[in-house]
Structure 1
Amino acid sequence: MCKILVVDDDKDLSFIICEMLESYGYRATAADSSEKAFELLKENKYHLVLLDINLPEITGFELCRELRRASNVPVIFASARTSESDRIESFDIGGDDYIPKPYSMQELLSRVKALIRRAYGSAEERIIEFGNVRVNISTRTVTKNGGKVSLSLREFDLLSYLCENKNAAIPKEKLISEVWGAFSEVEASTLTVHIRWLREKLEDEPANPKFIKTVFKVGYMLEV
């Protein structure tokens, strides 16, 4: 299930947006300030951020700049500020789309669907197989030798990210940012433990892994 963070100081509007998104199968969370948004981004992984420009403390532009230093999560700016200069700046700093207020819920939904589709692929089942392991990213299920493998939320998120970037060496910092959150303070040792748990559950020889490889002085890679 895709998780969406709605950042807007208009609490009533955020509530309506979250209700609409959840009615279409998304998991939506609201933040009414940049400070709250930073807290949520630090603790959670989101698939998309809907971001207002006029926020308390710092602007949505500043929040996006900070976010882009740690994450490539898709960002849609939604704002009553509709000047050409604002639109241009939103794209220059890393925004992916811009929708002017007021907008209809159907237009917003269409833009959300389109951006998620571009960023993560179609809604069709995404399945990765290696050895005797089968990972269904769409349904968040894993089997080994036909039997179900039970993974925690973080274990699956980590495995999913490795699957979607298979055969590529991924730095530890990147894995922590993408799996635990853009501003997470999780230590590298936590990542190491989760990698060990995945190996114990998925590899035939966890001490001599065939698929979940350590890349010296870089991080980890799923080799398939």
Structure 2
Amino acid sequence: MVDTHKIMIVDDDPHICEIVQVYCEREGFISSYSHSGTEAMKLLASFEPDLIVLDVMLANENGIDWCMNARSYTNAPIVFLSSREEDEVKISALSYGGDDYVTKPFSPGVLMAKIKAHLRRVSSGRRDQLLELPGLTLDFYAQSVIMRGETIFLTKKEFGLLSYMAQNVNRVVSSDALFQVTWGMESLEDIRTVAVHISNLRKKIEADPANPERIFTIRGAGYMLVARSALQART
């Protein structure tokens, strides 16, 4: 049996919500909508959508801020709708958790094509979503790490750092390489950002962040993720 995808629509314009919902139903999707960020956050928890269509400017609220908050609870693709065409707005929307940006007035057919493309990408990614190491499993779909049976959710940058180190497990990776892979640009010798994010990552996955057993700092070289913690190695 094929799973029916669930689409969540967040827009303060009831007419827009109804249009998107009609087209979603034509595609066989289950949909639900909300007109405010507060309502939408409650709906997010109960509805558990596979994809979210989100207005950039909600009434008295900022959709981009809502997106940033929602990323703590979901990794579902977020497609922004907006009448704003400025590059700065688009860049902010895509930089702070958005996956796509569609300007109003929009073609419902084009929006549906984008929604289906993102759902295909997510579905194909689920087939190869886990990277398992001794005592540590990375879930690429949920952007989380599973340790001792507990799921720990990470930010996009934290997960990017951890996943790159996991793909180079037991090998030293330089701060410059981590910065370039995670931020998509040259570090210009300012690697303090990497150190801050590594520190935050350790707080989430290390039993004692001050004495790490997973992510080691290799002075003058970078960082190394070990396949087994020092504690495990001693037992």
**TM-score, normalisation: structure 1:** 0.55
2:59 aligned to 44, 56, 60, which one?
56
**Is this contact kept in 2: 1:49–1:73, CA < 8 A?**
yes
Residue 28 (1) aligns with residue 26 (2)? no
SS at match of 1:121: helix
Task: Provide the residue aligned with 2:108 in structure 1.
Answer: 105
Amino acid at match of 2:110: E
**Mapped partners of 1:22, 1:94: distance in 2:** 26
Deviation at 1:10, TM superposition (A): 0.7
**Higher-RCO chain (CA-CA 8 Å, sequence separation at least 6):** 1
Q: Give the count of matched residue pairs.
A: 135
Deviation at 1:9, TM superposition (A): 0.6
SS at match of 2:57: coil
Residue 116 (1) aligns with residue 119 (2)? yes
Deviation at 1:173, TM superposition (A): 4.7
Deviation at 1:44, TM superposition (A): 2.3
Unaligned runs of 5+ in 1: 127-161, 176-216, 218-224
Amino acid at match of 1:77: F
Q: Which runs of 4+ in 1 moved over 6 A?
A: none
SS at match of 1:30: strand
Label 1:4 to 1:32 Cα distance change in 2 as closer, same or farther (>3 A). Answer: same
**Mapped partners of 1:110, 1:31: distance in 2:** 22
**Is this contact kept in 2: 1:33–1:56, CA < 8 A?**
yes
Deviation at 1:174, TM superposition (A): 5.4
SS at match of 1:77: strand
Task: Provide the residue aligned with 2:8 in structure 1.
Answer: 5
1:34-66 deviation digits (Å, cap 9, x = unpaired): 111011012221100000011124210010010
Amino-acid identity (%)? 30
Amino acid at match of 1:99: V
Amino acid at match of 1:45: E
Amino acid at match of 2:114: R
**Is this contact kept in 2: 1:34–1:57, CA < 8 A?**
no
Task: Provide the residue aligned with 2:229 in structure 1.
Answer: none
**Mapped partners of 1:34, 1:173: distance in 2:** 26
Unaligned runs of 5+ in 2: 128-138, 154-206, 208-235
Amino acid at match of 1:22: E
Task: Provide the residue aligned with 2:163 in structure 1.
Answer: none
**Is this contact kept in 1: 2:53–2:79, CA < 8 A?**
yes
Task: Provide the residue aligned with 1:68 in structure 2.
Answer: 71
**Mapped partners of 1:42, 1:71: distance in 2:** 9
2:21 aligned to 6, 18, 22, which one?
18
Amino acid at match of 1:101: K
